[in-house]
Amino acid sequence: MSPAAPSAVPSSSSPISSGSHLFSPFALRGVRMPNRIVISPMCQYSADEGSATDWHLAHLGQLAMSGAGLLMIEATAVEPEGRITPGCLGLWDDTTQTALDAVLKSVRTMASMPIALQIGHAGRKGSSGRPWDGGQLIAPQAGGWQPVAPSAVPHLPGEVPPRALDEAGLAALRLRFADTTRRAALLGLDAIELHAAHGYLLHEFLSPVANQRTDRWGGSLENRMRFPLEVFEAMRAVWPQDKPLGVRVSATDWLEGGWDVDQTIVFARELSQRGCDWIDVSSGGISPQQKIVLGPGYQVPFAQRIREAVSIPVMAVGLITEPAQAEAVLASGAADLVALARGLLWNPRWPWHAAAALGASVSVPHQYWRSQPRELKDVFGTISFGQR
């Protein structure tokens, strides 16, 4: 029997100001968050054959000191062929596990923030160059590999088609996802998120744009959801019951006849029945033909639609940049959590400044207490320094 998803219960363990929705505490299973700010997974393209490096230590270390409620590590592949680029992070063997363990041990000495890991597979978007190298498909003879997908349909016109997965390949991948989940548990990670968005493998199964199979893995919505749901079940079965497991989705392909928010709601309900703890609502990525209408908070309406239809927490993402904007998203009931990515790269102290703007307080390392401006003396809570 699939475990029921527990309700999100605010925690009273933090002295954060209760006047702000953004800085009110939140809980996901056994994980207590002091506020509703989530640091989104952000690919760094800086791993060494899948292994975390000093770059990851510096990147994650600074974000762990930001005062956010949850830090999510970038999309992490379940096998070498599941990477987006040769520089993407992986967790598929003892070597990659040991490297990530070393980074996590150091980061945890800097802050007590809960840390999550996003787990995924690039599918037909794998074997790509790093963005600063052009991002094009890398041929096997040039150091790339043969991408896999639901169907032999390339992402871009003119690309060599990916290899369509057969039954044996699907079974092997389910085991890969479960194995990476077990490794994440051994690393003591607090939560994991399954990546089923942005045109990568599981989104490819969901979307009729990429999934053109005629067997039980394609065609109807039920069939297209089958493999992603089986992957989720395999992960939930080996992930500790007191720890949360969420899913990132693309709510729409931004294409006529593609994956859309109504199908996403059906998928989210099926995930909820299987013990999913949150839905992280993004969009797009399946095709270069997508027609995205950009603007501040442009994906928030999708999050709201899904939140109104499911009984588990929903995370809003996408051009949420200002504290008042993030506060309004939560106050309106559009989402339970907000996630920032590029905004936190631009300003790794965004939660500090948001707390100041909203009259709340935030936890920061003792070493930084003296940076608190005199006119904002309560942003770091009630603190005192010995005199010498």
Catalytic residues: 200
Q: How far apart are CA 364 and CA 65, in angstroms?
A: 6
Q: Is-contact 288 253, C-beta < 8 A?
A: no
Q: How many CB atoms lie within 10 A of CB 293?
A: 6
Cross-strand partners of 120: 77
Q: How many CB atoms lie within 10 A of CB 323?
A: 21
CA atoms within 13 A on the CB side of 186: 16
Report residue 36 CA to chain centroid gap. Answer: 15
Phi, psi of 237, rounded to the nearest 5 degrees: -65, -25
Q: How many CB atoms lie within 10 A of CB 169?
A: 12
Q: Is-contact 65 51, C-beta < 8 A?
A: no
Angle, helix 94-108 to helix 54-64, in steps of 10 degrees: 40
Q: How many CB atoms lie within 10 A of CB 139?
A: 12
Q: Indicate the SS3 state at residue 219.
A: coil
Tokens representing 347 are 């300003």
Q: Is-contact 42 341, C-beta < 8 A?
A: yes
Q: How far apart are CA 297 and CA 154, in angstroms?
A: 31
Helix (H), strand (E) at residue 195? strand 191-196
